[in-house]
Structure 1
């Protein structure tokens, strides 16, 4: 079952990578959602991402997180060649090497996060704190992106999206593990929609590798941070997690220097 879980998660990563590449290709022309939702290729990308998410959930039901999570991070290695092919080019060796460095650092870091246990309790006040922190962080990152060069702009916008997706994931965990609450259900669409808009803006810049890597890093780490801050879950400790984070950050910086500026050509 563990091998099956790994295979299902790997296929899910491929679907997620394909969907992200398709959406970036369309967003590189115009990042406005009212434009994108009328483009079949962008909608197909959304469907592919949804399939990837479902397969990831199925994989978690078949095997342990320690096996499934690394397969999810592998989507970065699938996404770059797929995006490059859509833009009519081949990914460079330096680009793929930088992506591999990001994936290795993130896999090690995620594997070191201690597993939480017990029922999750989450008050409306804590939900407001969650949304407030995520919203302020996203605004600051968006403001910083306006002053950054293209690769930095892509990274900051994608990180903003990752923070909002991390907040959304935390709310979903509370709903699944802690009990149904209509207020949380009503609150979910706001950070999710803002995250989607920020991500399309990041894709519109054109540095897909930087955007996707930043999203891959920011989303799970934000969820871990919120889990520790609001749910009392443990954080990884010691030097190895810091080294893993440094490796992932170094890979992202390398991607920012090597990832070509891709624009939609058809």
Structure 2
């Protein structure tokens, strides 16, 4: 069953990577990242379906295998995404891109493995949920404002980081809805940060630096969920000198790889005549 779980998670990562590459390709070709334009583009919608399939496979994998096996397989989506994005542009991925992605993947894997698994039933009250949503909104707003005055690579990273914060908040709410005690209004609240995250992510993709945008998303989303889980749900954080050192080293690797990806050539295709 563990092998089956690892295989499902790996295939799910491939679907997620393909979906992200398709959506970035269309967001960069469209005349703007507005959802109303992107929703009329079949390949962008196909990318959304691929992301949905990848997410579903990841959830099924968690039913058959432990988190310590499934989560590292999810990290592979970054290694799959760059070749997929390069293939859409009829070129080969550069060695530097793949090396940077590998460094980020190793860092993310280290971070995932040192976070203890929480087995209790989470609870989130109205006050804590308001702090969760308000805090995520405030952080993403600051990142969005900073991105408006940044270089293209930094803008892509900041917008994708803002999306990752909102997706982390969404994941925290979803975890409570699935496994814990919750208030009825949580059901209506969940789509709000998810939709805002989707909009910000498409803006990040439209900049053209797909590698750094996708890497920033992959790093921020799980770390935000872990932080919210620890602060609001009482979930455990790594303890002990060894775990702390591993977490710090893994975080440094992920950050260094993201910076390296930011220095690569933007993945912006030729303008789309249909968009004009």
TM-score range, shorter chain: over 0.9
Separation in 2, partners of 1:189, 1:8: 26
Q: Taking structure 1 as the reference length, what is the TM-score of the superposition?
A: 0.98
> Contact (CA 8 Å) 2:124, 2:182: kept in 1 or not?
no
Structure 2 residue corresponding to 1:76, chosen from 75, 78, 94: 78
Structure 1 residue corresponding to 2:264, chosen from 232, 251, 258: 258
Q: Taking structure 2 as the reference length, what is the TM-score of the superposition?
A: 0.94
Q: Which residue of 1 is the match for residue 89 of structure 2?
A: 87
Q: Which residue of 1 is the match for residue 159 of structure 2?
A: 157
Structure 2 residue corresponding to 1:36, chosen from 35, 38, 41: 38
Q: Which residue of 2 is the match for residue 148 of structure 1?
A: 150
* Farther off after superposition, 186-195 or 228-237: 228-237
Separation in 2, partners of 1:241, 1:163: 19
> Contact (CA 8 Å) 2:2, 2:66: kept in 1 or not?
yes
Note the C-alpha offset of 1:180. 5.3
Q: Which residue of 2 is the match for residue 195 of structure 1?
A: 197
* Farther off after superposition, 25-34 or 155-164: 25-34
Q: Which residue of 2 is the match for residue 7 of structure 1?
A: 7
Separation in 2, partners of 1:16, 1:141: 25
Q: Which residue of 2 is the match for residue 241 of structure 1?
A: 247
Separation in 2, partners of 1:263, 1:182: 45
Note the C-alpha offset of 1:235. 1.3
Note the C-alpha offset of 1:240. 1.3
String of CA shifts for 1:179-222, please: whole Å, max 9, x gaps: 35321000011100000000000000000000000000000000
Note the C-alpha offset of 1:265. 4.8
RMSD: 1.1
Q: Which residue of 2 is the match for residue 26 of structure 1?
A: 26
Note the C-alpha offset of 1:116. 1.3
Q: Which residue of 2 is the match for residue 205 of structure 1?
A: 207
Note the C-alpha offset of 1:247. 0.5
Separation in 1, partners of 2:265, 2:218: 16
Note the C-alpha offset of 1:264. 4.8
Note the C-alpha offset of 1:140. 0.4
> Contact (CA 8 Å) 1:95, 1:259: kept in 2 or not?
no
Note the C-alpha offset of 1:162. 0.2
Q: Which residue of 1 is the match for residue 218 of structure 2?
A: 216
SS across alignment from 1:28:
helix
Q: After TM superposition, list the pairs within 5 Å mapping 1:58-207 onto structure 2.
A: 58-179=60-181, 181-207=183-209
Separation in 2, partners of 1:15, 1:172: 21
Note the C-alpha offset of 1:232. 1.3
Give unpaired runs (5+ residues) of structure 1.
Answer: none
Note the C-alpha offset of 1:236. 1.8
SS across alignment from 2:33:
coil
Residues 264, 187 of structure 1: CA spacing in aligned structure 2 closer, same or farther, 3 A cutoff?
Answer: farther
Note the C-alpha offset of 1:262. 1.9
Note the C-alpha offset of 1:234. 1.5
Note the C-alpha offset of 1:91. 0.9
